[in-house]
Chains A and B, each alone.
Chain A
Amino acid sequence: MKLTLQVWRQRNADDAGRMARYRIDGVRPDMSFLEMMDLLNEQLNQRGEDPVAFDSDCREGVCGTCSMVINGRPHGPSRGTATCQLYMRHFSDGARITIEPWRAKAFPVIRDLVVDRSAFDRIMQAGGYVTVHSGPKPDPNALPVEPEVAELALDAATCIGCGACVAACPNGAAMLYTAAKVSHLGLLPQGQPERYQRVQSMVAQMETEGFGACRNYAECEAACPKKISISFISRMNRDFLRATLAEPVNPRGTMDSQ
């Protein structure tokens, strides 16, 4: 296969960046998209040009490192597929492919297709945990969990933190990511004691990081490589509302006037 690639090149965070065009030959349909990028880099290296920087690690669709907007869609044309599991057989010979980094205010470009997603980590640090130390714990079977609830929690917990939801959102919102994290713990009995504090802290951090607001475009769900449902967003909104209206900030004190 012969392809024409339009790739975003940006030396560093301060560089304005530009699209560069490359012709690439010798691509095979059974190559993965990232192997095609490896091939491009090999050819650039031979010509003495800087290879295109891009993130990838496990290449099995689970670490969430890879992050490319391909022909305008985060992770490319196949549904429920991360870039690393996208194969060239989905493109035709002679195709022109545009490749860009995640574009969002909260994800500044580091170089070429590599962006800084540390904002996601800070949302987690704000409250995405159950406070337990390491050491002896009660036997887990002392607290049964309905299998449907455990499965639903796992549907949320399956988020790989890639950021495609943010890249797909016209507002650059991180609602699907934050909602997945909030719902995972909020559904399980272990997450109950900190449930309302957690949703408030994580939403506050999300806003601090400069992510946009949710307008229910649902582009996030369409782009999610793990097909996480936007119904988790409404679950988070319910929890958030409860936390701000019904639950007093200090359960032993008086409720703040609304």
Chain B
Amino acid sequence: MTIELQASIPHGRIEEKWVTHLDHIRLVGPRNRPKYTIIVVGTGLAGAAAAASMGAMGYKIECFCFQDSPRRAHSIAAQGGINAAKDYRNEGDSVFRLFYDTQKGGDYRSREANVYRLAELSMGIIDQAVAQGVPFAREYGGLLANRSFGGVLVERTFYCRGETGQQLLLGANSALAREIHDGRVRMHTRTELLDIVVVHGRARGIVVRNLVTGEISSFAGDAVVLATGGYSNVYYLSTNAKGCNVTATWRAHKKGAGFANPCFCQIHPTCIPAAGEHQAKLTLMSESLRNDGRIWVPRTKRDTRRAAEIPQDQRYYYLEERYPRFGNLVPRDVASRNAKDVCDEGFGVGPSGLGVYLDFRDAIGDRGADVIESRYGNLFEMYERITGENPRQTPMLIYPAPHYTMGGLWVDYNLMTSLPGLFAIGEANFSDHGANRLGASSLMQCLADGYFIIPLTIGDYISRHPNGEIGTEHPEFKEAEQTLRERTARLLSIHGTRSVESFHRDLGKLMTDHCGISRNEAGLQEALKNIPEIREAFWNDLAINGGSAELNQSLEHAGRVADFLEFAELMCIDALTREESCGCHFRQEYQTRDGEALRNDEEFAHVAVWEYTGEGRTPVLYKEPLHFEALPPARRDYKK
């Protein structure tokens, strides 16, 4: 088996590619659409938008989520905002500038044509959301308000207080609710995907487990769309929801879909540090805090004084000193790496020594307590609720945490994976953010994929095949169901001594230490030696109580951790193979004299796509070369 990497990028100038493509792709007529069934897995921004849009076009949609309601998908937790090149502020913003910022922010490791299309579609997303009733912030005159975000020089971010993701998801979900009501979308909640079914080289359906009854069953369709999010929970502690997992994309990979750039994981700089071993997840504090907060550590190592007792000249404002032009507003990867560096050197603060201060004292002094309160009051409250400390009086403690994965299933320009009939949208694919994602871009990509791209491009695939060729009575479905029943039985029959949680924590710690903010060869080799050991312990010493034919949360978690334990290895192999530093991927062996990331465009200007070759076998690497036609790569330097 080999993977064919046909990116199918349309010809022509970059501004013309998408328009020309739409003029020429094959469509499915309105009378034929109801004959085709499309399976959509996941109901975050990408999944809900795709299911609602395609349902409204007339396709028959089977939609799945493991949550108890489609509205609870993790897109809901996005705080800051959504970018669009509207240029309402008359600052010279344009589609090209948004494209430029996204390419540069991603350190030139994404596909130009996809990124340009994303910038092009950004404006329409705002129009669409407003039409659905999303209550964006308004100026006094009633027009839409904007704010700025890290890594760019214009104000192009639209927002709803600190809950933009929630409002956009409720918008997409209201459209989905309408389609469910009208019967064009059949919604299956508390239902988890366990595997993808492939017949004659094409994705034909999925096998799922009803999380309430434990029943394992199959659904067949003419195409399968995965909108199943990212895999930051491989680190156990991340800003992702507890349920986020890699199962769908990993299973797709094992069935033939190439996995692209798995080592690209964004570590967000402003999260509340772990309080102790019991910590179950990390909470993000919006990046917008860096607009007014100053980041510092004491100049003396292991200084145990309280923040207020440390005089001004003994405070090390390391970002402002190292990056005078961007200061505290450097991009996420740079801010995270610097925080880790100062903590590793012994300057860190807080009980664990893994924390830096984010201080609002000067901002309150300069602008007044009222102004700062109006901007960040709800975030201060949230911080106080969690830590019991008041950030108006003592500086916040923050530390980086895994947040978003730029890597994902490889897709072509139509968002189809290398497995025909299987599509991946939103965070589940790899395409638009390169090696680092800019703030307020994930909502934009999910909705562009879901509202505007997949509903059209999927027709190009579907129209080439007759509808409903294969049903769930096909032996491949029966076989897949049987294998999964056996796997479930095996998980329950280990009768060991350790909980699922304990294995997940072990894996997370290993990945944080060796495949986190900075990586090196020795550490990655170490991780590659240890992961199989944890995996073996898992399959020999796991203890799950309860049965398979009932709601069993430990069993659900065990299935997800089993997949993380396989996937983690691929992440480390990819990190080891990419012998350069770019964006979030910082290999200590490849840095400039002053400690900045050293990219290698000669050898690594490609997408690393991995093919699964069987259990215990080394995966095979394919490369999709990246061509920079509209924008030649430049060194990403935030110092000058």
Contacts and interface: CB of A to CB of B under 8 A. Distances in A.
Contacts of A154: 135, 160-161, 167
B180 interface: yes
B386 A85 contact: yes
B130 interface: yes
Given A32-B280, A150-B137, A133 B385 contact: no
A59 B283 contact: yes
B225 to A, nearest CB: 15
Interface in B23-67: 49, 52-53, 56-57, 67
Nearest to B381: A80
Interface string B519-558: 0000000000000000000000001011000110110000
Contacts of B67: 57, 63, 65
Contacts, number: 215
A188 B418 CA distance: 44
Given A134-B49, A185-B133, A157 B167 contact: yes
Contacts of A39: 278
Given A42-B501, A59-B241, A137 B131 contact: yes
Contacts of A125: 177-178, 180-181
Contacts of A135: 128, 452
Given A65-B67, A128-B177, A188 B278 contact: no
B174 A129 contact: yes
Interface size range of chain B in the complex:
35 or more
Contact of B74 (A42, A48, A57, A139): A57
Interface in A26-55: 28, 30-32, 34-35, 38-39, 41-42, 44-46, 48-51, 53, 55
Given A55-B68, A129-B175, A133-B56, A12 B550 contact: yes
B628 interface: no
Contact of B388 (A87, A129, A139, A140): A87
B551 A188 contact: no
Contact of B56 (A31, A110, A134, A146): A134
B388 A190 contact: no
B216 interface: no
A110 B213 CA distance: 10
B149 to A, nearest CB: 20
Contacts of B177: 121, 124-125, 128-129
A132 B52 CA distance: 10
Given A63-B241, A129-B177, A139 B280 contact: no
Contacts of A64: 71-72
Interface string A129-150: 1111111111111001111001
A126 B180 CA distance: 10
Nearest to B161: A154
B280 A137 contact: no
A161 B543 CA distance: 34
B115 interface: no
A61 interface: yes
A134 B452 contact: yes
Interface in A196-245: none
A161 B72 CA distance: 9
A65 B144 CA distance: 31
A185 B543 CA distance: 49
Nearest to B170: A157
B127 A138 contact: yes
Nearest to A89: B388
B88 to A, nearest CB: 7
Interface string B65-80: 0011111101011000
A78 B385 contact: yes
Contact of A28 (B278, B280, B281): B278
Interface in B165-211: 166-167, 170, 173-175, 177-178, 180-181, 187, 189
Interface stretch (A69-77, A91-99, A112-120, A246-254): A112-120
A82 B56 CA distance: 35
Given A32-B280, A121-B70, A147-B142, A190 B133 contact: yes
Given A57-B241, A110-B551, A132 B132 contact: yes
Name the 8 nearest CB pairs between A and B, nearest first. A144-B142, A129-B174, A140-B130, A137-B127, A134-B53, A125-B181, A147-B138, A57-B241
Given A62-B76, A116-B68, 20 more contacts: A12-B550, A28-B275, A30-B387, A30-B388, A32-B386, A35-B279, A38-B278, A46-B499, A57-B243, A58-B242, A63-B74, A63-B76, A65-B68, A130-B131, A130-B133, A134-B53, A154-B161, A157-B167, A160-B166, A161-B69
11 contacts: A12-B550, A42-B501, A49-B545, A51-B554, A60-B77, A124-B173, A124-B177, A134-B175, A140-B136, A157-B170, A190-B130
Interface of B: 49, 52-53, 56-57, 67-72, 74, 76-77, 88, 124, 126-128, 130-133, 135-144, 160-161, 163, 166-167, 170, 173-175, 177-178, 180-181, 187, 189, 212, 241-243, 275-276, 278-281, 283-284, 382, 385-388, 451-452, 455, 497, 499, 501-502, 543, 545-546, 550-551, 553-554
Interface of A: 11-12, 28, 30-32, 34-35, 38-39, 41-42, 44-46, 48-51, 53, 55-65, 78, 81, 85, 87, 89, 110-111, 114, 116-118, 120-121, 124-126, 128-141, 144-147, 150-151, 153-154, 157-158, 160-161, 184-185, 188, 190-191
